[in-house]
Structure 1
Amino acid sequence: MTSHVLDLAGAGIGPFNLSLAAQLDSIPQLSVRFFERRPSFAWHPGMMLPGAEMQTSILKDLVTATNPTSRWSFLSYLVANKRFYQFLNAEYEAVPRKEFADYLGWVARGLTSLRFGDSVREVHANDGFFSITTDDGAISARNLSVGVGKIASRPAWAEQLPKSMTFHSSEAMQRIGDVKAPRIAVIGGGQSGAEIVDALLDLTRVSSIHWISRRPNFEPLDATPFTNELFTPGYMERFHGLPEELRLTHTRRQVLASDGVSASTLKKLYRRLYERKLETRGASDQGISLRPFRNVIAAEQDGPEITLTMRNGFDDSIETLTVDMIVFATGYRFVLPEFLYSLENRIELNSIGEPVLESDFSLRWDGPRESRIFVLNAGRHSHGIAEPQLSLAAWRSAVIANALLGRQHFDLDQLDPIVQWETHGQPSNLPSHMGQAAE
């Protein structure tokens, strides 16, 4: 064990711990180090499909929202790479995902606190600090930051299907080029599902594509001004103070604010389908079927085929579909990383099995309060739909930095929200006579 105790050790170097590292780079009095098993930075390499775009503003980068003069902003990246004027002239409605990934890699290459090819293996709590084993040895740290991301989520009915006949959208770049199956089902009506369908339309060897979603239609991301208020610090702070039951209800209702399809992607797909009909003079296009409002309830493999059984929510009927391959664009789920198993029984969980997070993004556990375990990308149901998104990454990192310092290094005061979310100066429960029908 080294004699030096770090102020913070970070496990995983994705965008969120990268944001934290970039913010802490402006605070030299803090001793920090971040560890990543991969040899270099990579951000969703499996989803870097041609034409894929960001769904957030470039100003919602790693640092700008709370530290606009940082050398690690997206604008600094453009200037450093001599692309500032050409980027402006391109007039992107949305930034290409590949360019934002290049920006993240540029930051990762510049920060000295990052250690690639060295992963966190074990964590044990001692008196006032954590003993951490990595691939390269042992260290001590007063606080942890867990940013290892989530794992690919697949429906329960798909567990017995062979991997040779299925893959998750996170593997798209590696798998799509090798697809030889003529009939493919894409499960999931969000942005990833739309991008997968768009990419499959370019493959001449695919004879039919079936896009299946539980949602009533293929619906756009709601990026209108009042909905974007959900992606502000003021809303997140108020959301965190709600009872758990209300928070869970709100996140279910707000799905299209964070997981809809970009309008530009929907328009592109619709035009492609329109042009296909034009080519066939309006005849039915057997090459693609769009099936919203379908809930897949079973999948049965029979040799090289898979038969899906679905309930159609539009007419409440049951239908079947036979395909040769399935692509799951079904998102991700949080799983406690193995290196925290030694603390598993000491961590408080909510009703759906996720860690309970404090307002500063540290999980609630039975250890000393000054020994914090910050968990990034696990707070959708504690802090709101913005927590897994890039939108508030810079602000969250500043909150954590202030918590480490025990003072307001970053000024996080905000104007009052434009929308009045909570009731001020009113009792939380209505009198018994309120709400009754008038006679």
Structure 2
Amino acid sequence: MKFAKINTADTETLDLAGLGVGPFNMSLAALLDSQPDVATRFFEKQTAFGWHPGLMLPGAHMQTSCLKDLVTAVQPTSPWSFLSFLVNQGRFYSFLSTEKMVISRTEFVEYLRWVSDNLDSVQFDTEIREVNFSDNHFVLKTNDRVYKARNLCLGTGKMPYVPECATPFLGVHCFHASSLMTSEINLAGKKVSVIGGGQTGAEVFLNSLRGQWGKAAQVQWVSRRASFEPLDDSPFTNEYFTPDYVNQFLNLPDHKKETIVSYQKLASDGITPDYLLELYRELYDRTYLHQDEVDWQLLPDRTLTDMSCNESGHYELRLNNALSSNGERVIADVVILCTGFQNNLPQYLEPIRPLLNLDSLDRFQLSSSFKVKWNGPDDRRIYAVNAGLHSHGIAEPQLSLAAWRSATIINDLTGKETFRINRPASLINWQEPMGVAI
């Protein structure tokens, strides 16, 4: 397929252009900061760094160790580590006295913002509107100028997932949780339904119960999971989040991968046990120690199957109870969707979409070094981060291996072992023992 020729004779040429500045592309930017011979720039349409600002709920914590930051796993001496941030901010000794390794989301975002504000390669207030390929270069049209790049790394993140039955009702009283802390929300006197049984659902339920957005009349928490289940962060489960396991997973047949990712769900998408305990204790106190002025209901093992708006202006939610196999109906004034996020092909890629070798579900096909398969020259590469759950497994959307993945991309980009990423094998034999198949 032929593309229109674009005059870029006077345009700056980058070795790598990063599209989007979330934690994953920022990890790449932070590690590349130590490689002055590689010309890079990372573009973000927002005017300043933000990481799911609508989900910065009171009491929210990370689910991974603070050592799983942008760089430490492959470059512990980097000036962009979390420990460097603590020293720079004058809080190192105080932090040690907290005796914690899992930090609040607020502090982690402060760390990310500190890195983004100090990296010369990060450029805010620049929206990528179109990506073309011309004269053996990617051509990036932004809101103010044109850039050329030999290679790309796509990191524009995921979009909120909204169940199909809820889509027609999106608005002031039915919305995805990702906008909670950036919108004017008033739940006073309302019947509220929280849909989704993961960490976000737990945080929204508890904060609604505590009157974060006004004292609700009723708060219902609906989850299709059998119960409100804890994150499994036990030592052997954490072996899923190692380079060795990812390499083993990559070599599996595609038809096995989806099943494996499904049964590993609680390794990445459960509720932090400490938060579950805090929630249970709160419900105990409200039940037995004082009269609760807010009616609440826990509704696990229910799947939202349909939604409508009745003549009184209330939402009617139809649920399927997997335990009883019965259909149920609940009424709500406000519906908060804690239903996660999904990958969508960025609109700016439409000009080169015919060159992308997408799979049958319109997903990127990624190599072991996170290269997107495409019909362009071999010496021009498109990398993608947070886009390979189906190919690389359960660790791909998580922060646990962000630094390792960035180092893998950089080694592929530079054609040498810029960062040492080969580590001793896992304590677990994921394949046949001693390399012998029976």
TM-score (structure 2 length as normaliser): 0.94
Please name the residue that 2:3 is paired with.
none
1:15 to 1, 18, 23: 23
Counterpart residue number, 1:251 = 261
1:214 to 209, 224, 239: 224
Match of residue 437 from structure 1: none
Q: Are the structure 2 counterparts of residues 110 and 286 from structure 1 closer, same or farther at C-alpha, using a change threshold of 3 Å?
A: closer
**Do the aligned partners of residues 395 and 208 (structure 1) sit closer, same or farther apart at CA in structure 2, a change above 3 Å counting?**
same
Q: Quick check: 1:392 aligned with 2:396? A: no
Distance 2:156 2:387 in 1: 10
Distance 1:33 1:286 in 2: 51
Of 393, 412, 415, 2:424 maps to 415
Instruction: Identify the residue that residue 42 of structure 2 maps to in structure 1.
Output: 34
**Equivalent residue number for residue 46 of structure 1:** 54
Q: Secondary structure at the match of 1:398?
A: helix
| Match of residue 350 from structure 2 | 341
Shift of 1:192: 0.4
Is 2:386 aligned against 1:377?
A: yes
The SS at the match of 1:163 is coil
- CA–CA distance in structure 2, aligned partners of residues 278 and 294 of structure 1: 26
* Deviation >3 Å, runs of 4+: none
Q: Deviations over 1:153-173 (max 9, x none)?
A: 011111111412211111111
Distance 1:65 1:352 in 2: 33
1:188-267 mapped onto 2 (5 Å cutoff): 188-203=196-211, 205-267=215-277
| Secondary structure in structure 2 of the residue aligned to 1:13 | coil
CA distance in 1, matches of 2:215, 2:418: 57
Measured in 1, the distance between the counterparts of 2:186 and 2:103 equals 28
Q: How does 1:301-312 map to 2 (within 5 A)?
A: 301-302=309-310, 303-312=312-321
| Residue 359 (structure 2) pairs with residue 350 (structure 1) | yes
Once the two structures are TM-superposed, the CA of residue 207 in structure 1 deviates from its matched residue by: 1.0
Q: Deviations over 1:214-258 (max 9, x none)?
A: 100000000001100000011111111211111111111111000
User: Is the 8 Å Cα contact of residues 194 and 201 (structure 2) preserved in structure 1?
Assistant: yes
Structure 1 alignment gaps of length 5 or more: 428-439
* Aligned residues: CA RMSD: 1.5
For the Cα contact (< 8 Å) 1:187–1:327, is it kept in 2?
A: yes
**Residues 280-291 of structure 1: matches in 2 within 5 Å?**
280=290, 287-291=295-299
Tell me how many residue pairs correspond in the alignment: 425
Distance change (3 Å), C-alpha of 1:128 and 1:218: same
Cα deviation code 1:249-308 (max 9, x no counterpart): 111111100000000110111010000012357x9x871100110011111111420111
Write the distance in 2 (CA, Å) between the matches of 1:248 and 1:352: 13
The separation in 2 between residues aligned to 1:74 and 1:169, in whole angstroms, is 28
Task: Tell me how far 1:127 sits from its aligned partner.
Answer: 4.0
**Residues of 1 paired with 2:183 and 2:323: CA distance?**
33
Q: Which secondary structure state, in structure 2, belongs to the residue aligned with residue 369 of structure 1?
A: coil
Contact 1:11 1:148 in 2 (8 A): yes
CA contact (8 A) 1:118 1:134 kept: yes
Letter of the 1:412 partner, please give it: I
Residues 368-377 or 225-234, more deviating: 368-377
* d(CA) in 1 for partners of 2:357, 2:254: 14
Return 200-209 or 330-339, whichever deviates more: 200-209
CA apart distance, 1:369: 1.9
In the alignment, is the contact (CA less than 8 A) between 1:33 and 1:113 conserved in 2?
yes
Q: Match for residue 64 of structure 1?
A: 72
Q: Distance in 2 between matches of 1:386 and 1:96?
A: 21
Say if 2:414 is the partner of 1:402.
no
Structure 2: runs of 5 or more not aligned: 1-7
Matching residue's letter, 1:324: D
> Are 2:188 and 2:217, in contact at CA under 8 Å, matched by a contact in 1?
no
Determine whether 1:94 maps to 2:105. Answer: no
In the TM superposition, residue 143 of structure 1 has moved relative to its aligned partner by 0.2
Distance 1:196 1:412 in 2: 39
What is the SS of the residue equivalent to 2:275?
A: helix
| One-letter amino acid matched to 1:220 | P
Quick one: distance in 2 between partners of 1:370 and 1:313?
A: 52
Contact 2:70 2:402 in 1 (8 A): yes
- The more displaced of 351-360 and 55-64 is 351-360
The 3-state SS of whatever aligns with 2:423 is coil
Q: Relative to 1, partners in 2 of residues 1:32 and 1:181: Cα closer, same or farther, differing over 3 Å?
A: farther
Aligned-partner Cα distance in 2 for 1:338–1:255: 29
2-side partners of 1:102 and 1:3: how far apart?
34
The yes-or-no answer on 1:109 pairing with 2:117 is yes
Q: Distance in 2 between matches of 1:106 and 1:241?
A: 38
Matched AA of 2:19: A
Which of the residues 183, 186, 192 maps onto 1:178?
Answer: 186
Deviates more, 1:167-176 or 1:242-251: 167-176
Q: Partner residue of 2:335?
A: 326
Note closer, same or farther for the CA distance 1:186–1:80 as it changes in structure 2 (3 Å cut): same
Question: Could you tell me whether the CA contact under 8 Å between 2:11 and 2:146 is conserved in 1?
Answer: no
Shift, 1:28, TM fit: 0.5
Contact 2:216 2:294 in 1 (8 A): no
Q: Percent identity?
A: 43
Match of 1:134 among 118, 127, 142: 142
Q: Distance in 2 between matches of 1:175 and 1:326?
A: 14
CA distance in 2, matches of 1:53, 1:305: 34
Instruction: State the shift of 1:181 in Å.
Output: 5.5
